[in-house]
Each structure stands twice: as structure tokens, then as C-alpha cells.
Structure 1
Amino acid sequence: MCAIRLLDLVKAVSPIMPEINFPVEKVILDEKVVYTIASGLVFVLAQLPLFGLVKDAPLQMADPFSTLRPLFAMEQGSLLELGLLPILTLAFVWQIAAGAKAIKVDFRYGSDRELFQTAQKATAVLFSAVFAAALILLGYYDPVVRGAANEGNFYGTYALLFTQLFGWNVVLTLIVEVIDKGYGFGSGVLCFLALNAATGLVRDVVGLEVVSATPNGVPQTYGVVSYFGRSLLTMDLGEIKSAAIGLFLRAGFPTLALVVLAVATGLVVIVLQNFRLELPIRSNRARGMANVFPIRLLYTGALPVVFAYTAVANVQVVLHFLLLAVAPFYPFVARLIESRDVAGNVVSGLRLYFTAPASLSASLLSPIRAVVYSTTLLTLASAFAVFWADISGSAPKDIAKQFKDQAIVISGKRDVSVTRELSRTIPVAAVSGAASLVVVSLIGELLGSAGKTVSVAVGVSAAFAVLEDFMTELQQSGGSSQLMGAMPGMK
């Protein structure tokens, strides 16, 4: 009896799934720059509010996913309501399944690679459809749906909301695929994680929009610098003093302490990015030629941290949807899942241990929560770092094979000991780097950054990965670029 592979089932949906073809010829540097920038602009414009909601809808909605939004680009009440979470979730699920040999796939064959990519895309779209439907059916948008009092428009508006959320996520998977298939730099998801962190930090510092933090609140300038600068222009000593105090105490707005914490996190990640161990190597073919093989501390980049937070985010989402589903029928079970105070912070229940404390005082008053949350993230990130280093072609045996093929040996070591030497170094670097990045992120989380510091940490690391790909392309093109030449100081 012939067994049917899981990937073979994907063939049924392949004809109806939109797809980005691989470039027929090599994409030149300037074209990659244009594709990357254009994709980023489309991504940023997706922060447009959903049609069918009342004005200032986010101010009138409960936000159970507030700490997830900075990292996963989940903008409440907008097309980016689901952010990058569906794409990241299914990408990790399929990669882990392939690496663990849970599914039969041979990446040496183009047909298997195409089916694998189609499977990731199709399941990510399906996940986004389920996510969007759950939000709507469980009443997430009920307080802010325009025309909800009119039964004639009630269901039509919900259908429109679902169409917008689902349609945008289909478009987003295609935009990510554009970059992944070689039209842009690096990974599409990494590009958008870096872009989201950068735009978020810039908005926190110099955001010029005047908004309210509550439905009946006083409108204020959003950015920290813009807020204080606006008070200086009034030349009113009382208002300047009030603004100086507000820099640290504004509820619902970025504070100076939060901005400093985010910037400090970014600087620490930049320092960690430059930590490396250099193994002296030499070639057996070219005598006298010596070099070094660098093993970076952040050997697996930001992926372990993204995986850990993606796993925790999905637990939070599932628990919240389960809460909404059982609350009308089993209030006691609902309290076991999650309870919140008047400010909307989780104060008890199972979900408490999968969310970061809201402030330093909350961390000190609930040390078990802080320890469980931190341990969970550290364990997930460290385990994934080892796993990813083993399956991504950068394991010690893979590097040793590359050395052997190129007749390269480690100075002072015999050929047979290369794998052993790399095995002592690479796993340690992978785990240490992942743990370091998680610790840097957690410091801000436990101080009440509400996801800002982990977004910056991942964004900076992702930006380095994209920049490395850009510099590689620039070197391969011989430094010739019309766009770079047109920029002042770049000629």
C-alpha cells in the first residue's frame, strides 16, 4: 500500500494559492533596494484603520494582546490586527516538523521545496482566517462596530471586517514571499520586524500626532521629544514644569524612562552583535595562507527569541479565546484561566504566568510569576537555538564538511578533530547568544516595557541580518549602484 505524504495533500490547494515566482534572472542591487523599500511602505500603510469601526475605536476596546503588539506588529483596530503572528507561527511549525523528520520532505528537489513553501503559506492564511473569525465571533469588536444597533447592517459589517483582515493577511504573505524569493534583502519577516521596531521607536520619540489615551482624555502629543518641545514653545513656565513631570508619568503614552530603556536595549544588542570567537584556520592547498573563522555570540541571530515569544503569544491567544468561550457557561473555569483588574492587567489565572508583569512593582510583588515567565522564555529560546543550529546547515558537522571540501583545517588541530573542536564551540555560542538576547529583553519586560524592549532587541538583530545581506550584494556587484551613487556622500 502506497503511503501518502502530508505535503502531497498540499497539491490540492496549490492551483488556487497565489504565488510569487522566482526571478528568471539575477535581481540587481538597485532593484532589490526598490523592492525592499516598496514592500516596507506597503507594510506601514497597513496601519490604516478597519472600515466599519467607529472613530477612535482602539480607545473604546479592551486589549488582551497589548504586550504582544510591539513585537508582532499587531496594530489594534487596523488591517494589522493580526500582525506577523500567523506567518511566524506556521513558519516555525513547518520548520520544526521538517527538522524533526515529522514530515517527509527533501529540500534537494525543487518540487518538494515548492510544496513546502505552499504549505507554509496556505496554513498561515488558514490560521489568520481562524484568528480573525474568532475575534469577531467572540465579541472583540462588538463595542466599536459601526451600525451595531441596526440589525440590518450588523452582520454585513462583521463580514466586511473579516474580509479586510483575511484579505490583508493574504497580501502580507505574498509581500513576505516577494522578499524571501530573492527580490529583496534577507528574510521578509526579519525585514518587517526590523521596520516595525524602527518605526515604533521613532514614533515614541518624535511622534507628532495629537491623540488621547482614553475616550474622554485630554489630547496630547504622542512622542516624548515632541511633547516636551511643544510645551517649550508656549513659554509658559507652569506648562513646561507639567510637561517635564509628564515625561515620566504620562499614562497611556511613551515615557522618557521607556524610551531610554528601549534605546539602551538596542545599544546592548549592538555590542552583543560584535562579540565573536575567532578560530585560526589555514588552507592545505595554499601554503602560508592563514585566516580566521568567526563564530558570533548571536550565532542563530534573533530567531530563538522570536520563536520563544511566538510560542508564548500563541498560548496567550488560545487561553483568551478559551476564556471568552467558557465564561458565559462556566465562570469558575474562566477565573482559573484569567482574571483582570480594572486597569485591564492580568492578576490571576493560568495566563498570569505567560504574560510579563506590568511594572517593576508587579514583578517584585509576584516573584513566582516573574520566575516562571522568564524561565519559560529562556528554556524555549535555548532549546530552539540548539535545534536550529543543527537543522539549518550551520551545525558543527556541516561546517566541518565545508572545511574538508575546501581543504581547510583549524591551525594546530588534526583534520579528524575539526568536528570535535567545532562541537565544543558552536552549541555553546548558540545557547549563550539566545540566552543573552532573552535576558536583555526580559530586563525591560520585568521593568514594565510592555513588549517594547523585546521588539527593539529583535529589530536590531534582524536589521543586522538584513544589512549583512545588503553588504554582501553590494560587494558582489563591485560596489556599482545607481541609487547609491545618486546619494550625497556615497559616490
Structure 2
Amino acid sequence: MFIAAGVAGQIFWNTFSFIEGPDGIPRGIIIAFFSVLFDGDPNTNLGDIVIRQQLPSLLGIVTTVVILVVVVWFESTRVEIPLTYRGYRGYKGKYPMKLLYVSNIPVILVNALYANVLFFGQLVAGPDSAMRASNGGLIPDFWINILGEFDTQSAGTGMGGQLIPKRGLIWLITPPLGIDQLVADPFRAVFYLIIFIWLCIMLGRVWVEVSGLAPRDIAGQIIDSQMQVPGFRSSERIIERILKRYIPTLIIINGILIAVLSFFADSLGALTSGTGLLISIGII
């Protein structure tokens, strides 16, 4: 709930903040909308807030609402396996499996991995790194720059004082923040999305194995509950085989959908980060 409260606070701030942004328009997109609409300034119009660089925009608020609706719909979509109770004839039930089988867990794990890689990259490849030959270190700058280069001029500008990758491997796994970055370098965006999807699928599979959501674990739970699939023998192995028709596919679909939604939330300027938005929806 603390995470959801933090995300809700960020959305509220980006929606209703009166503080003036670098473009001379209030930061909050709703306040900016009415300010542009009624202030009578001939130098500003609604087109100025449709897309705003590193600031809340009309596109961002539409993206937030659309992703909210889409995720809620995905969360309510289920695959149901019919079950019968062995002890009482005629008693039937269903075992539901959500379309988002592991929910937003893969995105959380991937972003935790990315955060550690970024932190390591800033230590090793930052402009003040002691490893750089230019700073008296032993490793030539050329090799360190392959890992990453950081824009010191952008530090603290809309990024809370953090260094922003501008080249190198670290830069390739950094999501484009805003449609301007998406359009400026589509190759990087596509590369990032492919890696992001692959990691979400792989870590989703790992999570299923360690969290008791694998087919063999679910089959054991069904047998222990004295349930069985109609038309099949009451065997854990048979139920596991049936579950394997669905669960691996659901993991892949889950990874793709959640990665794409998070990517577009970041790229189209949603009112909070894609990961934060998905986590909050899952909590609520």
C-alpha cells in the first residue's frame, strides 16, 4: 500500500501541481490545460501541452487512463479448468488462471535488475570514476565508454540528480522517457523493448518455479483438495499434463503484455513510471 500511495501522490502532483515548469506553464496537466485555455496568452495554445518534454502532458494523461483500463481488463480475463469433487457426485468447480498469470512480478524483477546494473555502471563508467585512465585509473576510457557514458549536464534535470546514460550498453537498456526520445532513436527503443520482453518472460518462468505456481505444484494442490478434471483419472501426473497446456503459454503472454504496457507508459509520458503504474493497479 505504501507503493500505491507513493504512485498516487506522484500522479496527483503531475495532475494538479501549480508550480510553473520550464516552459512557463504550470506543471500539473489539468492546471496547465485550464491555464492555457483561459489565460488569453497568444503565445500559448493547447498544442503546447499535448506533448511536453519531460513534463506531464495531455498524451501522458490519456496514456495513463488507457493503461489503467487495459490492465484492469487483462486482470479480469481468466482461463478456467473444470473440476469435480471426488467425494460428492454432482459437485463441480473451476480452477481459474488469470491471463496475467504472474501479474506484474516480472516487471518488478527486471527493473530491480536494471537498477543494479545502472548503479554499477555509474560507479564504473561515471565521469568521476576512479577506474578511468583520465582520472588516474588503469582502464582506458575507450573500454569503459563501451559500458556506458553519462551526460553530466543532464544530471538533476527531471531525474532527481541522477546521471543520465547517453551512450554504451547501459544506455541501450535504459527506457526512452517521453515520445521525443522514442522518435529520436527508434532503434534503441526497439532493442530495449526486445530485451525487456525476453527478461520478463524468463524471470516470469523463474518466479513460477520458486513461488509454487508451476504445473506440478498446482496439480498437487488439486489432488490434495480431492478434486479432479472431469473425464480424466485422478492422477497428479495427468492433471500436471493438462496444466502444462496453459501455464507456459500464459507466462509468455503475461511477459509480453506487461513489458509492452510498461514500455509505452514510459515512452508516451504517463503520469508516473510504467512499473509504478502496473504495481499500483495490481495492489488495488
Same fold flag (TM > 0.5): yes
Q: Deviations over 1:193-219 (max 9, x none)?
A: 322222222222223x42444xxx75x
Does residue 431 of the first structure (1) align with residue 252 of the second (2)?
A: yes
Q: Give the drift of 1:230.
A: 4.3
Report what 1:205 is aligned to. Answer: 15
SS in 1 for 2:245: helix
Report what 1:44 is aligned to. Answer: none
Report what 1:299 is aligned to. Answer: 101
Please point out which of 324, 327, 332 is paired with 2:142. 332
Q: Give the drift of 1:250.
A: 4.0
Separation (CA, whole Å) in 2 of partners of 1:192 and 1:431: 29
Separation (CA, whole Å) in 2 of partners of 1:443 and 1:227: 23
Q: Deviations over 1:336-368 (max 9, x none)?
A: 321438656643222111111244454455344
C-alpha change, 1:313 and 1:404, in structure 2 (3 Å) is: same
C-alpha change, 1:378 and 1:250, in structure 2 (3 Å) is: closer
Structure 1: tracts of 5 or more residues without a match: 1-190, 464-491
- Sequence identity, in percent? 23
Separation (CA, whole Å) in 1 of partners of 2:196 and 2:39: 48
Contact 1:389 / 1:427 at 8 angstroms: preserved in 2?
no
Alignment of 1:157-306 (within 5 A): 191-207=1-17, 209-213=18-22, 218=24, 220-230=25-35, 236-238=39-41, 242=44, 244-306=46-108
Alignment of 1:81-480 (within 5 A): 191-207=1-17, 209-213=18-22, 218=24, 220-230=25-35, 236-238=39-41, 242=44, 244-324=46-126, 325=129, 326-327=131-132, 328-329=135-136, 330-336=140-146, 337-340=148-151, 346-360=165-179, 362-416=181-235, 417-447=238-268, 452-463=273-284
Tell me which moved more, 264-273 or 394-403: 394-403
Relative contact order, higher structure (CA 8 A, sep 6+): 2
Q: Deviations over 1:171-192 (max 9, x none)?
A: xxxxxxxxxxxxxxxxxxxx23
- One-letter amino acid matched to 1:198: A
Separation (CA, whole Å) in 1 of partners of 2:219 and 2:210: 15
Scaled by the length of structure 1, the TM-score of the pair is 0.49
Separation (CA, whole Å) in 2 of partners of 1:295 and 1:236: 52
Separation (CA, whole Å) in 2 of partners of 1:251 and 1:424: 45
Q: Deviations over 1:399-451 (max 9, x none)?
A: 21121122100122222211111122222222321221111112233445596
C-alpha change, 1:338 and 1:433, in structure 2 (3 Å) is: same
Contact 1:339 / 1:349 at 8 angstroms: preserved in 2?
no
Contact 1:356 / 1:370 at 8 angstroms: preserved in 2?
yes
More helix by share: 1
Q: Give the drift of 1:254.
A: 0.8
Report what 1:85 is aligned to. Answer: none
Structure 2: tracts of 5 or more residues without a match: 156-163
Report what 1:68 is aligned to. Answer: none
Separation (CA, whole Å) in 2 of partners of 1:226 and 1:409: 58
C-alpha change, 1:223 and 1:451, in structure 2 (3 Å) is: closer
Q: Give the drift of 1:333.
A: 4.1
C-alpha change, 1:236 and 1:459, in structure 2 (3 Å) is: closer
Contact 1:304 / 1:385 at 8 angstroms: preserved in 2?
yes
C-alpha change, 1:230 and 1:367, in structure 2 (3 Å) is: closer
Q: How many residues align?
A: 265
Cα RMSD of the aligned pairs, angstroms, is 2.7
C-alpha change, 1:425 and 1:244, in structure 2 (3 Å) is: same
Separation (CA, whole Å) in 1 of partners of 2:231 and 2:260: 36
Separation (CA, whole Å) in 2 of partners of 1:404 and 1:275: 25
Runs of 4+ with deviation above 6 angstroms: none
Separation (CA, whole Å) in 1 of partners of 2:49 and 2:106: 34
SS in 2 for 1:415: coil
Separation (CA, whole Å) in 2 of partners of 1:430 and 1:360: 29
C-alpha change, 1:339 and 1:310, in structure 2 (3 Å) is: same
Contact 1:300 / 1:433 at 8 angstroms: preserved in 2?
yes
SS in 2 for 1:292: strand
SS in 2 for 1:265: helix
C-alpha change, 1:365 and 1:211, in structure 2 (3 Å) is: closer
Contact 1:357 / 1:448 at 8 angstroms: preserved in 2?
no
